[in-house]
Amino acid sequence: MTIFKDIIDGKVPCDKVFENESVIAFKDIAPQAPIHLLIVPKKEIKNLQSLPSEDMPLLGEVIKVAQQLAKEFDIQEGYRLLTNNGSLAGQTVFHLHFHLLGGRRLNDGLA
Ligand code: AMP
């Protein structure tokens, strides 16, 4: 059980920007860019490495939502979509999610 599960279940409020039956997206509480959204498959999956092959279609869903939100938030010319897998990579919430970052020139390099 994670904070994101509570958000999905409506027990914890969020600044929601998208929801359908399989994915929810909301604003990150500690934004690292002018636009910082989290795109979260509702199914409880710990991280990318734990994604079972039958759930791979969820990644397509996430990308579709990212494209739509990038348009909506007017960052389609430059954004980053990323996931942190494991604490060594900076993962702090162990429910699969993708950061959609944009709204300024993003730093060179990935790490
Ligand atoms: P990660 O470090 O990749 O696991 O990302 C977790 C992200 O969740 C961080 O960027 C946090 O700022 C964000 N976060 C944690 N709690 C909340 C919350 N209640 N609402 C929105 N974002 C949150």
**CB of 48 closer than 6 angstroms to any ligand 1 atom:** no
Q: Is 90 in the pocket of ligand 1 (CB under 6 A)?
A: yes
Atom 12 in ligand 1: residue holding the nearest Cα: 30
Q: Is the pTM of this model over 0.95?
A: yes
Is residue 88 lining ligand 1, measured as CB closer than 6 Å? Answer: no
- CA distances 68 to 7, 74, 98, Å, are 21, 10, 14
CATH, domain 3-102, list 3.30.360.10, 3.50.50.60, 3.50.40.10, 3.30.428.10: 3.30.428.10
Instruction: Write down the domain spans for the chain.
Output: 3-102
Question: Which 3 state secondary structure label does DSSP give 4?
Answer: helix
Q: How many A from CA of 74 to the centre of ligand 1?
A: 22
Q: Is 97 a catalytic residue?
A: yes
Contact 78, 102 (CB under 8 A): yes
Q: What is the pLDDT of residue 48?
A: 98
Q: What confidence tens digit (pLDDT) does each residue in 39-91 have? A: 999 999 999 999 999 999 999 999 999 999 999 999 999 999 999 999 999 99
Q: Cα angle vertex 71, ends 27, 94, to 5°?
A: 35
* SS3 label, residue 66: helix
